[in-house]
Every structure is written in structure tokens, then in C-alpha cells.
Amino acid sequence: MEVLYLIKPGELTLKSGNRREFEDRLRANIKRQLEGTKCQVLHKGGRFYVAGDADPALIEDVLGRTPGLAGFARATAVERSVEALLPAAVEAARAVIAAGRGLKFKVETRREYKEFPLDSYAVSYAVGDELLRALPELTVDVHHPDWVLNVEVRDRIYLYALNIPGQRGLPTHSSGKGLLLLSGGIDSPVAGYMMAKRGLKLEALYFHAYPYTSDEAKQKVVDLARIVGRYCLGMKLHVVPFTEVQVRIKAKAREDERTLLMRACMMRIADRLAEKIGANCIITGESLGQVASQTAENIRFTGSFTDMAVLRPLIGIDKEDTVATAERIGTYPVSILPYEDCCVLFSPKHPVLKAKFEAEKESFLALDIENLLKEALERAETIV
Ligand code: ATP
Ligand code: MG
């Protein structure tokens, strides 16, 4: 099926300095996801188009989850004449009415091809007139229209009316690569998604404490990685065996310090892996005060085990908003499957709430655990 989509780049238009680089990246990212279809991504006259032969549902799925797009619209292109324009305009209007977008409209025309015999006002007028004649249920409302039929006179005449909102944000890779600490919970997949939208390519790290955490728990994380990966051109998942580390902590640490020290160990391994894979930051799903390990004092302590930037996009977000995002991006039903993650099993009844920085550093050293952490990372399994 011959299709044409007009693409509206997002924020990148604001960044005049590296605009070109951003546009090229956005274009390459869309192209990559449409590999195997007969679609091309074109950039002409300051506009992006996807054009070619493919299932519109597939194209809309790709465009709908590509960061860096403000929106997109299915467009029709016709030969540059009024005779061709008018019936195409009626057909476009029918589609909008069928989609239930309302009956008040206006026409906006851009005339890039200046030799066209009618000026833009005359084009809008002729099209509006034709729509009112063919579809009497419509009315013109130039101030508060339900929808706008856009007409662009260029090499051909392009028409579009149904705007579909995009993810906005920045194109994948434009901010470098981030390492996401991905658990099977609700928060970390959302955190990953939020940073993917800000232009990070992601890889994920999951700490697996077999047999204390089941294979189902791991599978859950694999599934989550796949879903979040849809928003950043796929995502590698590194699974680090964490059982020995937890056993050591349980044997050597005071009960109330266990969670905190376990977090410290996670951060230390993340730091090493981030460096190894060329990431410029670490991402977690922490939210201030949500659980005992997420007080400012405890976040400071765990953060001190890396000197990378630790990005915590959910730090000021309420749980219900996080849940709403999780539902929207499709991670929620997987996150709420019942398999426990490793932290639950070793959780103390009364964990340290406000880490005393120096004292906890000493407790960490007393674990004598650096070698074990190194080994755990060496035994990581990578799932693509
Ligand atoms: P989530 O819903 O993401 O599991 P949470 O509210 O349960 O978060 P914690 O269990 O305190 O909070 O975890 C805080 C963060 O630490 C998580 O968001 C995640 O980034 C990271 N994390 C926790 N457990 C793991 C794990 N097993 N593997 C990788 N990262 C983890
Ligand atoms: Mg959790």
C-alpha cells in the first residue's frame, strides 16, 4: 500500500547549533526501524517524510514510539493542480470525520511553489468551499476549529489533517549511552523509558540471586527489557549472578545494614559495567522517600560507590503517576507479576533509614567483598 507520512521533529528544532546532527540521527533511527519494508525516509524542503509501500499500522507504531518526534500525520500527495486537489481534500476530510474528530474545521495553506496560479488564501478558500459543498455537516471555524486541513503546495500538493502526537524528547543516541539498573518492579522500567526519551541509548543490568529469585523473575526482567527497548532501538540486558554477594552480606553485616550494603554492591558493579560498555551515566528507579533505602542519606551513600552521574528520573514523581506511565508504555502488567526480586528475601525488618556515611563505609569495607563483586561481573550473562 502506497503511504506517505509527514513527520514533525520535536525539540531538536530548538537546538540550532547541532540541529543537523539531530535531524540526521532522527532520520537514521526511523530508517533503522523500518528496515525490511519498502519505505524511505526523505528530507526535503525542510520536511521529513516517510514514503513507500508498507502497512500504515506498522509505520504508525514505529513513529509513535520514536523519541525526537513531536508528531506525525498521514498525508496524501497529488499532482499540482486544483482539479487534483479538491477531490483529495474531500477524501481527507471524510477520514477525519470518520475518526470522530469533530465537524468544525479550517484550511491552512502554505505555498512554497510561488508560481502556483492561486495564492494561499485563494487555495484555502477554494478547498473550504468544496468541503462545505461535498460535506454539508461541516462548518468553518477559523478561531476554534476541531481540526485543520493543511495544504502544502510544493513539488506536488501535500494534504494532511490527522495529527498523531509523538513521544517528543530527543533522538536515541543523541545523549550517549546509559546503564539502567533494571529490576522486575514498576519503577525502573519507567525510569529507563524516561531517559530513553531524553536521547539515551540504553543497556540494562539485572542482579539475579538464583535460586532465591526464580527463573520466572528473570524472565520478567527480560520481558521488561524488551518493552523498554522498543523506545530506544533495542536494549542489551546484562544479568549478573548476585547470590554469593547476598550470602556474604547476610553472613557478615548487621541485619539493619543489609539493604544499604546490598545497594552499595549493586552500584559498585554498575560503575564497573558502565565503564566497560562506554556508558556515561547510571539510571535507577529511585524515588525520594518511597522506601527505606531511598532517603537522601541512603541515596548519598549508595551513590558514593560510583563517580558516574546517577540519573534518577523518578526522584520527584508520585507512585500513581509512575504507574500511569507504566500502563501507557506497556510495562505495568509485566511488573505486577508476583515473582519476588532479590531484595525482598534479605530485607531486614528495620533497615537503616539515615545512613551515617563514615560508619557505613566501614561496614562496607568489613565485608571484604570487592573480589566477589569483580567475579560476579565477570560471570555476567548478556542477553540481546
Ligand atoms: P523498582 O520498582 O524499580 O523495583 P523499587 O521501588 O522496588 O524499584 P528498590 O527495590 O529500592 O525500589 O530499588 C531501587 C532501584 O534499584 C530500582 O529502581 C532499580 O533501579 C535498582 N534495583 C533494585 N533491585 C534491582 C535488581 N535486582 N537488579 C537491578 N537493579 C535493581
Ligand atoms: Mg523493586
Q: How far from chain centre, in Å, is Cα 194?
A: 6
Query: Does 298 contact ligand 1 (Cβ within 6 A)?
Result: no
Asked if residue 161 lies in contact with residue 117, where contact means CB atoms within 8 angstroms, the answer is no
Query: Does 181 contact ligand 1 (Cβ within 6 A)?
Result: yes
Query: Does 343 contact ligand 1 (Cβ within 6 A)?
Result: yes
- Cα of 360 from ligand 2 centre, angstroms: 22
Output the pLDDT for position 340: 67
Output the pLDDT for position 61: 94
Q: Where along the chain do the CATH 3.40.50.620 domains lie? A: 177-383
CATH class as words, domain 2-165:
alpha beta
Q: Which atom of ligand 1 is nearest to the CA of 209?
A: 27
Q: How far from chain centre, in Å, is Cα 200?
A: 9
The residue whose CA is least distant from atom 16 of ligand 1 is: 284
Q: Where along the chain do the CATH 3.30.2130.30 domains lie? A: 2-165
Mean pLDDT of 139-165: 92
Give the fold, CATH level 3, of 177-383: Rossmann fold (3.40.50)
pLDDT above 70 covers what percent of the chain?
A: 96
In angstroms, the CA 302 to CA 325 distance is 26
Query: Does 286 contact ligand 1 (Cβ within 6 A)?
Result: yes
The residue whose CA is least distant from atom 27 of ligand 1 is: 207
Comparing 207-211, 251-255, 336-340, the range with the smallest average pLDDT is: 336-340
Output the pLDDT for position 16: 62
> Cα dihedral angle (165, 223, 181, 330), rounded to 10 degrees?
30
Comparing 2-11, 21-30, 66-75, 185-194, the range with the smallest average pLDDT is: 2-11
Q: Which three cell numbers stand for residue 202?
A: 540504553
- Cα of 341 from ligand 2 centre, angstroms: 7
Q: Which three cell numbers stand for residue 75?
A: 498525508
Mean pLDDT of 279-286: 97
Output the pLDDT for position 52: 87
Give the Cα-Cα-Cα angle 266, 272, 274 (nearest 5 degrees). Answer: 95
Asked if residue 5 lies in contact with residue 74, where contact means CB atoms within 8 angstroms, the answer is yes
Q: How far from chain centre, in Å, is Cα 353?
A: 33
Please count the residues of the chain: 384
Asked if residue 346 lies in contact with residue 250, where contact means CB atoms within 8 angstroms, the answer is yes
Output the pLDDT for position 210: 86
Output the pLDDT for position 79: 93
* Per-residue pLDDT tens over the stretch 181-210: 999 999 999 999 999 999 999 999 999 998
Mean pLDDT for the chain?
A: 91
Output the pLDDT for position 341: 62
Mean pLDDT of 29-44: 90
CA within 13 Å, CB half, 136: 0
Which of 79, 287, 285, 50 has the alpha carbon at shortest distance from 178? Answer: 285
Query: Does 187 contact ligand 1 (Cβ within 6 A)?
Result: yes
Q: Which residues contact 331 (CB under 8 A, 6 or more apart)?
A: 186, 189, 190, 193, 224, 227, 228
Which of 46, 48, 42, 44 has the alpha carbon at shortest distance from 68? Answer: 48
- Cα of 322 from ligand 1 centre, angstroms: 14
* Per-residue pLDDT tens over the stretch 340-381: 665 555 677 778 888 788 888 888 988 889 999 999 999 999
- Bigger pLDDT: 180 or 3? 180
The residue whose CA is least distant from atom 30 of ligand 1 is: 181
- Cα of 381 from ligand 1 centre, angstroms: 19
Q: How far apart are the first and last CA of the chain?
A: 32
- Cα of 263 from ligand 2 centre, angstroms: 12
Backbone angles phi, psi at 162, to 5 degrees: -90, 100
Output the pLDDT for position 357: 86
- In this model, does residue 28 exceed pLDDT 90? yes
Q: Which atom of ligand 1 is nearest to the CA of 180?
A: 20
Query: Does 58 contact ligand 1 (Cβ within 6 A)?
Result: no
DSSP letters spanning 276-311: HHT-SEEE----TTSSGGGSHHHHHHHHTT--SEEE
The residue whose CA is least distant from atom 12 of ligand 1 is: 286
